[in-house]
């Protein structure tokens, strides 16, 4: 049997919202596998749908920049939130975001590009690590461009212009006026920031993710005791609902809670007198998908001072 620690139980409880004893049982049932334990809780109806990747687990900034029909988003990570407030770090994020906007489509291309200071981004990053005193890294980048129309940006929890915790880009292909595209793009970007779609269309959803959801739905439906044909329909219904809720175009618009995003775009095109196509989007949330090691500040201070920390009393 796997050694289930109190820290593991606490971590699962924070991720799932389930009770402590249920979390401990889930970990015991799954030999300490955190993802499997989350799925076990969900099959028992003890946890809401997991959006593990939406949890902020690293510090730094997301930068976004747009210019007409193109836009770019970059995530640069640091060890603490203090660095995100550092002018030197913020300028670096702005510079590498501009490099991405100008054409660098991956992290390696950004690192090799020359910044306004005359040094490459990689050399500048090395200098920043030495002078600021924290490890930093360019984690990811995505660039969008349309032949006609606009790419619209939105930053949630903005730290300063173009920098924040969540950065969103929306690519709209259309001959409609820029004012109409900017208005629609801003609304869609705010929706994306809040609703966290996993793909543009239902068919774009990750196949492995769908199969995992199907397995969960099948186990839950199987526990109902209903005939096999009814169970199969229950599973199909659950997957259809999951697809609609996680694909952007079929999500319900957060502004009214009843209109599909595809219908919002269609109406905007009709009002603008020109068809508008939502061709792509980017949603970067700082630290999503990164597991961050928990830090015990008291233990760190004790270790640094050479004074052993006294164990906490057990109630």
CATH number, domain containing residue 151: 3.30.479.20
pLDDT of residue 292: 59
Q: Is residue 309 in some structural domain?
A: no
Mean pLDDT of 90-113: 95
Looking at the structure, tell me whether residues 65 and 15 fall in a common domain.
no
Q: Is residue 297 in some structural domain?
A: no
Confidence of residue 55 (pLDDT cuts 50, 70, 90): very low
Residue, of 213 and 281, whose pLDDT is higher: 281
Looking at the structure, tell me whether residues 179 and 68 fall in a common domain.
yes
Mean pLDDT of 77-84: 88
Looking at the structure, tell me whether residues 24 and 77 fall in a common domain.
no
Looking at the structure, tell me whether residues 167 and 108 fall in a common domain.
yes
pLDDT of residue 88: 93
Looking at the structure, tell me whether residues 144 and 41 fall in a common domain.
no
- As given in the structure block, the two tokens for residue 111 are 């690192």
Q: Is residue 215 in some structural domain?
A: no
Looking at the structure, tell me whether residues 46 and 15 fall in a common domain.
yes
Largest CA distance in the chain: 72
Q: Is residue 73 in some structural domain?
A: yes
Looking at the structure, tell me whether residues 3 and 114 fall in a common domain.
no
Looking at the structure, tell me whether residues 43 and 113 fall in a common domain.
no
| Distance, CA of 122 to CA of 109 (rounded, Å) | 10
Q: Is residue 32 in some structural domain?
A: yes
Question: pTM of the full predicted structure?
Answer: 0.74
- Give residue 148's domain range: 59-186+280-285
Total domains present in the chain: 2
| Distance, CA of 48 to CA of 67 (rounded, Å) | 40
Q: Is residue 25 in some structural domain?
A: yes
Looking at the structure, tell me whether residues 85 and 34 fall in a common domain.
no
CATH number, domain containing residue 2: 1.10.8.10
Distances (CA, A) of 99 to 110, 141, 143, 167: 6, 11, 11, 17
Confidence of residue 131 (pLDDT cuts 50, 70, 90): confident
Looking at the structure, tell me whether residues 121 and 169 fall in a common domain.
yes
pLDDT of residue 246: 94
Q: Is residue 294 in some structural domain?
A: no
Looking at the structure, tell me whether residues 35 and 91 fall in a common domain.
no
Looking at the structure, tell me whether residues 32 and 97 fall in a common domain.
no
Q: What percent of the chain clears pLDDT 70, i.e. is strictly above it?
A: 87
pLDDT of residue 46: 67
pLDDT of residue 133: 78
């Amino acid at each position: 049997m796997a050694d289930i620690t109190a820290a593991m139980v606490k971590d699962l409880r924070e991720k799932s919202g389930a009770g402590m004893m249920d979390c401990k049982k889930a970990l015991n049932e799954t030999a300490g596998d955190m993802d499997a334990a989350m799925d076990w809780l969900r099959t028992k109806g003890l946890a809401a749908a997991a959006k593990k990747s939406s949890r902020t687990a690293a510090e730094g900034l997301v930068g976004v920049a747009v210019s007409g029909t193109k836009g770019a988003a970059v995530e640069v990570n640091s060890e603490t939130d203090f660095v995100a407030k550092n002018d030197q770090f913020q300028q670096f994020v702005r510079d590498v975001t501009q490099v991405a906007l100008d054409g660098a489509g991956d992290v390696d291309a950004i690192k090799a590009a020359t910044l306004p200071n005359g040094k490459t981004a990689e050399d500048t990053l090395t200098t920043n690590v030495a002078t600021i005193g924290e490890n930093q890294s360019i984690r990811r980048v995505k660039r969008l461009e349309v032949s006609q129309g606009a790419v619209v940006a939105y930053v949630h929890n903005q730290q300063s212009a173009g920098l924040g915790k969540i950065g969103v880009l929306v690519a709209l292909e259309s001959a409609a006026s820029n004012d109409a595209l900017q208005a629609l793009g801003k609304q869609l970007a705010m929706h994306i920031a809040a609703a966290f779609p996993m793909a543009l269309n239902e068919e774009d959803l990750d196949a492995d993710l769908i199969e995992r959801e199907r397995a969960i739905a099948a186990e839950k439906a199987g526990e109902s005791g209903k005939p096999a044909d009814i169970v199969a329909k229950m599973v199909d219904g659950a997957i259809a609902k999951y697809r609609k809720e996680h694909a952007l175009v079929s999500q319900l618009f957060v502004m009214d809670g009843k209109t599909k995003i595809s219908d919002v775009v269609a109406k905007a095109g009709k009002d603008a007198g020109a068809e508008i196509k939502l061709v792509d989007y980017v949603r970067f949330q700082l630290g999503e998908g990164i597991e961050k090691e928990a830090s015990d500040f008291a233990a760190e201070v004790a270790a640094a001072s050479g004074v052993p920390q006294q164990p906490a009393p057990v109630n």
